[in-house]
């Protein structure tokens, strides 16, 4: 029996992952391939785009599609990675990666004319780096744009999520007029469509190369961060996802957008909803400065999350916080330290939980939909006792994330592009 499937292609920093997702959201097949070549080091973060394609080809070679009928596909890429091309999509230089730093003059040119709420400000701004690319390159494409073009032949289209940091206005849904004031010709950027919009059909040669049906729909994708959120299964306004890694990253699906550059908060448009989020400097990195993994496991077993320590910690590894408090001199609060290590660890975990709750409240104060449920991903999500502390602080029910693979979130968009939200 043949099952219908949509493919999500995740272009990460070190490799490519492809997931086949069924109509019911089930993972039907998956493959991944590493990128063989490193960044090119000219004092900048540059990369040959050919290695993206080589990794994609390798990932397809390992994908088992027996018994599956692929109907559509979409691609997510690293947010802010751009490539100079000709009108036919041929690269005219190396790609400038998401963490590449622009020249001060280019950054200043944007600061002089851009509104405060744009995501195009800062030293790693894709727009600033586009200003540095020679005018002989008639087209500047984002990573996902170029790969979509390779598959369907269209090198003139981007999605609203990848375009955001290049200066696109997701509220007015246009490239704004102020960009001209920077000296950049906005016609060099592709036109922008919503994430999940149908943009074309796969080229016959690509269908043959990858063993796909000739009528596979190619759908506008998203950024890797948005794809990871979509993979969690969040669908309703107020659905939040916390990533408990070295730092704490929170995101919430909102009925209204939030733009608070002082906190590093911008909103991605996904359908008729908005994805708003922020990142705190607290998180697992603070825990690791005191305890190793084995010690954390041993001490966690001694904790009683039903009995709060009463310690009022704000765990940071060093002074400085960005969200939910914006203060580069904000001091860590890690005293008093009880003599029992398990109580100290519990106090740290309670402190991170308090910061997480404060962060979601701050998003709501800034205009986002109030938190209604929470999904947790990252290494800290496996700590059941910490989860109990966090749920007490958040005051909302927990939901299990459907997947932590960004490719599964991109496959959701691929389904949406043909009228079905799996």
Q: Give residue-wise pLDDT tens across range 176-187.
A: 999 999 999 999
| DSSP letter assigned to residue 135 | T
Instruction: Give the residue carrying structure tokens 């009463």.
Output: 310
> Which of 361, 289, 350 shows the shortest CA–CA distance to 323?
361
Q: Give residue-wise pLDDT tens across range 376-404.
A: 999 999 999 999 999 999 999 999 999 99
- Residue 19, both tokens: 């997931």
Tell me the sheet residues that pair with 260: 265
What is the Cα–Cα distance from 280 to 181, expressed in whole angstroms? 33
Q: Dihedral of CA 123/126/130/133: which sign?
A: positive
> Which of 75, 408, 53, 412 shows the shortest CA–CA distance to 220?
75
Q: Look at residue 136 in the predicted model and tell me its pLDDT.
A: 84
Q: What percent of the chain has pLDDT over 70?
A: 100
The SS3 call for residue 227 is helix
The SS3 call for residue 344 is helix
What is the Cα–Cα distance from 161 to 9, expressed in whole angstroms? 16
Helix or strand holding residue 151 (H, E): helix 143-152
Helix or strand holding residue 159 (H, E): strand 157-159
Q: Look at residue 172 in the predicted model and tell me its pLDDT.
A: 97
In the predicted model, what is the mean pLDDT of residues 5-9?
Answer: 98
> Which CATH architecture best describes the domain 3-227?
2-Layer Sandwich (3.30)
Q: pLDDT confidence of 241, banded at 50, 70, 90? A: very high
Q: Give residue-wise pLDDT tens across range 308-367.
A: 999 999 999 999 999 999 999 999 999 999 999 999 999 999 999 999 999 999 999 999
What is the Cα–Cα distance from 232 to 176, expressed in whole angstroms? 32
Q: Look at residue 326 in the predicted model and tell me its pLDDT.
A: 95
Q: Look at residue 49 in the predicted model and tell me its pLDDT.
A: 96
Interior CA angle at 111 toward 110 and 117, to 5°?
Answer: 95
Q: Give residue-wise pLDDT tens across range 70-109.
A: 999 999 999 999 999 999 999 999 999 999 999 999 999 9
What is the Cα–Cα distance from 216 to 261, expressed in whole angstroms? 39
In the predicted model, what is the mean pLDDT of residues 209-235?
Answer: 97
pLDDT mean across residues, the chain = 96
User: For residues 162 and 79, is the Cβ–Cβ distance under 8 A?
Assistant: yes
The superfamily (CATH) of domain 236-394 is ATPase, nucleotide binding domain (3.30.420.40)
Domain boundaries, the chain: 3-227, 236-394
Backbone φ and ψ for 337, nearest 5 degrees, come out as -100, 120
Radius of gyration, CA atoms only, the chain? 22
In the predicted model, what is the mean pLDDT of residues 149-164?
Answer: 98
What is the Cα–Cα distance from 76 to 158, expressed in whole angstroms? 11
Q: Look at residue 36 in the predicted model and tell me its pLDDT.
A: 78
What is the Cα–Cα distance from 34 to 12, expressed in whole angstroms? 9
Strand arrangement, sheet containing 239-244: 267-270, 273-280, 248-254, 239-244, 373-377
Count CB-CB contacts under 10 A for residue 43.
Answer: 6
What is the Cα–Cα distance from 91 to 365, expressed in whole angstroms? 44
The SS3 call for residue 198 is strand
Q: Is the pLDDT of residue 419 over 90?
A: yes
Q: Look at residue 225 in the predicted model and tell me its pLDDT.
A: 93
Q: pLDDT confidence of 134, banded at 50, 70, 90? A: confident
What is the Cα–Cα distance from 46 to 81, expressed in whole angstroms? 9
The SS3 call for residue 273 is strand
């Amino acid at each position: 029996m043949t099952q219908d499937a949509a493919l999500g292609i995740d272009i990460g920093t070190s490799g490519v992952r492809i997931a086949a997702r069924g109509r019911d959201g089930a993972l039907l097949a998956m493959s991944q391939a590493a990128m063989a070549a490193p960044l090119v080091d000219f004092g900048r973060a540059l990369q040959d785009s050919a290695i993206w394609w080589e990794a994609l080809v390798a990932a397809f070679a390992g994908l088992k599609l027996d018994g599956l009928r692929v109907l559509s596909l979409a691609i997510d890429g690293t947010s802010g990675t751009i490539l100079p091309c000709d009108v036919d999509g041929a690269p005219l230089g190396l790609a400038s990666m998401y963490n590449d730093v622009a020249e001060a003059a280019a950054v200043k040119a944007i600061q002089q004319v851009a509104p405060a709420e744009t995501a195009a400000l800062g030293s790693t701004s894709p727009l600033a780096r586009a200003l540095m690319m020679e005018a002989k390159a008639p087209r500047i494409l984002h990573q996902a744009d170029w790969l979509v073009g390779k598959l369907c032949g269209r090198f003139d289209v981007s999605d609203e999520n990848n375009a955001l940091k290049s200066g696109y206005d997701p509220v007015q849904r246009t490239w704004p007029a102020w960009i001209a004031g920077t000296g950049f010709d906005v016609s060099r950027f592709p036109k922008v469509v919503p994430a999940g919009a149908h943009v074309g059909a796969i080229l016959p040669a690509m269908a043959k190369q990858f063993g796909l049906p000739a009528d596979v729909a190619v759908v506008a994708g998203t950024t890797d961060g948005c794809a990871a959120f979509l993979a969690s299964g969040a669908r309703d306004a107020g659905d939040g996802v916390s990533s408990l890694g070295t730092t704490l990253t929170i995101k919430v699906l909102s009925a209204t957008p939030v733009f608070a550059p002082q906190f590093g908060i911008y909103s991605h448009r996904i359908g008729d909803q908005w994805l708003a989020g922020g990142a705190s400097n607290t998180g697992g990195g603070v825990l690791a400065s005191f305890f190793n993994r084995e010690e954390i496991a041993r001490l966690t077993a001694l904790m009683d999350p039903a009995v709060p320590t009463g310690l009022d910690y704000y765990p940071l590894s060093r002074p400085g916080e960005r969200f939910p408090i914006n203060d580069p001199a904000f001091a860590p609060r890690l005293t008093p330290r009880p003599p029992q290590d398990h109580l100290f660890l519990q106090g740290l975990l309670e402190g991170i939980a308090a910061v997480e709750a404060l962060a979601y409240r701050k998003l709501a104060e800034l205009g986002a939909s109030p938190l209604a449920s929470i999904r947790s991903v990252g290494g800290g999500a496996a700590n059941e006792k910490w989860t109990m502390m966090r749920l007490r602080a958040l005051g909302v029910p927990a939901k299990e994330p459907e997947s932590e693979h960004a490719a599964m979130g991109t496959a959701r968009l691929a389904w949406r592009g043909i009228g079905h939200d799996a």
